[in-house]
């Protein structure tokens, strides 16, 4: 990057877009419960404040010209949490769709949902479908919500779909390659993340975008998710700008 392009994101105006801005940022939103516990508050309050952080992240991504923002909202393993907490999370999801969908639509944001939908409660799946259908024609930021999502489970579903095509005679096994598998993932048509951010100081991917993050850059930050704001987002992007992505090749300096 040129000296001019190395300006920090923090120095960019809200509507500015720096050279090399990642097209796709994915975030593992972690630490709601610990944020609440440190303040002597119920876990629900941490989740509620986490929704406010989502709004800030979406606004910042749109302002900076990021094309795709993927948020890990509810994993396939989160069903193991206490029933009351799961119920609270479902309630927040319903409120978010009902209260924020109109604003997202007005802001030209397209919503896509990834994850398994089979077996979801009858009052949840229609909300997910509505969010996608209402915003499908929008051309601004694509907000990808990973709900009831697991990276390994996604790959299994893709392999099963390919296996059915082989069994039915519509696909030669020798024709199966990486592109064929990607076409059957939940994220078909979405570029792989350039940057993955995880909050709360944890340093693992937790079954998130297992296939898609093979060459992503990772930034782990100590802040709990409810404290994630525009400054934190921009600081993570500044760290990304320092990286030299080689995708298995040599750096320009080594050639």
Query: For residues 169 and 166, what is the distance between their CA atoms, to the nearest angstrom?
Result: 5
Kindly report the backbone phi and psi dihedral angles of residue 203, in degrees, each rounded to the nearest multiple of 5, phi listed first: -125, 70
The answer to whether residue 207 is catalytic is no
- Binding-site positions for substrate read 31-35, 43, 47, 75-77, 79, 81, 198, 204-206
State how far the alpha carbon of 7 is from the alpha carbons of 13, 17, 25, 26, 108, in Å.
11, 11, 19, 22, 28
The answer to whether residue 148 is catalytic is no
Catalytic-role residue among 63, 78, 207, 238? 78
Residue 114's SS3 state is strand
Residue 226's SS3 state is helix
Catalytic-role residue among 30, 100, 186, 194? 30
- Binding-site positions read 30-35, 43, 47, 75-77, 79, 81, 198, 204-206, 217
- Binding-site positions for Mg(2+) read 30, 217
Q: Which of 181, 115, 105 has the alpha carbon at shortest distance from 143?
A: 105
The residues assigned a catalytic role are 30, 78
């Amino acid at each position: 990057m040129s000296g001019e392009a190395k300006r920090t994101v923090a120095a960019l105006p809200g509507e500015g877009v720096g050279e090399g801005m990642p097209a796709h940022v994915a975030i593992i939103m972690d630490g709601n419960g610990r944020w609440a516990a440190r303040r002597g508050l119920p876990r629900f309050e941490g989740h509620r404040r986490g929704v406010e952080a989502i709004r800030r992240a979406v606004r910042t991504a749109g302002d900076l010209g990021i094309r795709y923002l993927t948020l890990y909202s509810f994993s396939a393993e989160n069903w193991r949490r206490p029933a009351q907490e799961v119920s609270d999370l479902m309630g927040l999801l319903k409120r978010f769709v009902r209260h924020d969908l109109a604003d997202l639509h007005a802001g030209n944001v397209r919503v896509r949902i990834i994850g398994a939908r089979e077996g979801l409660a009858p009052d949840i799946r229609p909300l997910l479908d509505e969010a996608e259908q209402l915003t499908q024609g929008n051309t601004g930021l694509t907000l990808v919500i990973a709900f009831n999502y697991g990276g390994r489970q996604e790959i299994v579903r893709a392999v099963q779909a390919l296996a059915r095509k082989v069994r039915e005679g519509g696909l030669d096994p020798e024709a199966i390659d990486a592109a064929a598998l990607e076409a059957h993932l939940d994220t078909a048509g979405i570029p792989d993340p350039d940057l993955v951010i995880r909050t709360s100081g944890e340093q693992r991917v937790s079954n998130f975008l297992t296939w898609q993050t093979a060459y992503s850059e990772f930034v782990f930050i100590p802040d709990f998710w409810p404290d994630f704001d525009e400054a934190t987002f921009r600081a993570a992007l500044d760290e990304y700008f320092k990286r030299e992505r080689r995708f298995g090749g040599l750096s320009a300096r080594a050639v």
